[in-house]
Amino acid sequence: MSMSTMTERRRALLAALPAGLLLGTLAPVARAAQPRRQAPRVVSVGAGVTEIVYALGGQSQLLAVDTSSLYPPQALALPKVGYQRTLSAEGVLSLGPQVLLAGQEAGPPAVLRQIESAGVKVVHVDGDYTFEGVLGRIGTVAAALGRQAEGRTLADGLSSRWQALRARIAAAPLRGPGGQPLRVACLMRHGANTMAAGRDTGADAMLKLVGAVNVFGGDFANYKPLSAESLASAAPDAIVGTFDGTQEPDARARLLATPGLAMTPAGRNQRAVLFDIVLLLGFGPRLPQAVEDLYGALGA
């Protein structure tokens, strides 16, 4: 979005403030009878939360998002309230929302408390790395937006797609060269370092959902720097690499060049797939699609 449209948006917002004040003073009775507006305006914090707002068709209620909300592309054009863990109370309030949709990582807690004390409803959109977690988050966001009907439609559609997908994966599980369940490492590059996903991560949950085994799932929790030797000794059958936003042309070649990989079955068979990290770890309404894509890519 260009600077001028942003200023215009803000100006429109400012212009709306005195009007709202006037209405508030003229119609106190009407307000008391109908305390909450039908379509509350919201600020959405968290990539998965923003995806849910769009999937529910609630984008007209969306005032701003955080910097992690990269999907859908239209979200990029909205004003940004900054990094999700360091929100600014005044910044969020200046946009005039009635509701703040706070994803799991939204914070700091003191700022959320300040926002709440200024009369904005803070809705925590929590839940784990499961399909049921996604359904729960959809229900929470739908209720906060006043779009319960859309929420039920979305959840029903996703559920039937999910059941079919589960059946498909159970019927044809991913197998390694020896016929055992496919053993996969999920790697992320941070500068010169390669980080591997351990247990309690979104990547670990995704591997489980496609019926694969995370080779580091038993070794450590969270994401840890990985040495060439530990990658070689873990001997994954396949690896999943990630990219952020746009995929660089030589990304796959660089993933295959990860030190130690050449000594593993994954390296020998060139079994490496690249995945958009927002899709892979979003755990939003695109979860069935992400699982289907990952299952297909690893099975190929």
Q: At its nearest, how many Å lie between another protein and the CB of residue 247?
A: 22
- The answer to whether residues 72 and 52 touch, using CB atoms and an 8 Å cutoff, is no
Query: Does residue 95 belong to the site contacting another protein (CB under 8 A)?
Result: yes
In whole angstroms, what is the distance from residue 226 CA to residue 157 CA?
A: 39
Number of residues that bind another protein (CB under 8 A): 37
Residues from 207 through 266 that contact another protein (CB under 8 A): 221-224
Q: Which residue stretches of the chain are H helix?
A: 3-26, 28-33, 47-55, 89-94, 109-117, 131-145, 148-171, 202-209, 228-234, 251-256, 265-268, 277-281, 287-299
Residues from 179 through 218 that contact another protein (CB under 8 A): 200
Residues from 2 through 31 that contact another protein (CB under 8 A): 14, 17, 21
Query: Does residue 144 belong to the site contacting another protein (CB under 8 A)?
Result: no
One residue of 72, 105, 230, 299 binding another protein per CB under 8 A? 105
Q: Which is nearer to another protein, 92 or 102 (CB)?
A: 92
> DSSP 3-state assignment of 179?
coil
* Piece of the chain touching another protein by CB under 8 A; list 87-95, 176-184, 248-256, 286-294: 87-95
In whole angstroms, what is the distance from residue 285 CA to residue 125 CA?
A: 14
> DSSP 3-state assignment of 200?
coil
Query: Does residue 118 belong to the site contacting another protein (CB under 8 A)?
Result: yes
One residue of 108, 181, 245, 296 binding another protein per CB under 8 A? 108
Q: At its nearest, how many Å lie between another protein and the CB of residue 170?
A: 32
Q: Which is nearer to another protein, 50 or 264 (CB)?
A: 50
In whole angstroms, what is the distance from residue 19 CA to residue 21 CA?
A: 5
Q: At its nearest, how many Å lie between another protein and the CB of residue 137?
A: 18
One residue of 110, 167, 192, 300 binding another protein per CB under 8 A? 110
One residue of 49, 111, 238, 272 binding another protein per CB under 8 A? 111
Query: Does residue 125 belong to the site contacting another protein (CB under 8 A)?
Result: no
- The answer to whether residues 212 and 185 touch, using CB atoms and an 8 Å cutoff, is no
One residue of 53, 89, 142, 207 binding another protein per CB under 8 A? 89
Kindly compute the dihedral angle of the four CA atoms of residues 220, 221, 222, 228, in this order, to the nearest 10 degrees.
10
Kindly compute the dihedral angle of the four CA atoms of residues 222, 223, 228, 234, in this order, to the nearest 10 degrees.
30
Residues from 39 through 78 that contact another protein (CB under 8 A): 64, 67
- The answer to whether residues 294 and 206 touch, using CB atoms and an 8 Å cutoff, is yes
In whole angstroms, what is the distance from residue 164 CA to residue 80 CA?
A: 38
Interface residues toward another protein, by CB under 8 A: 14, 17, 21, 64, 67, 79-83, 85-95, 105, 107-111, 113-114, 117-119, 200, 221-224
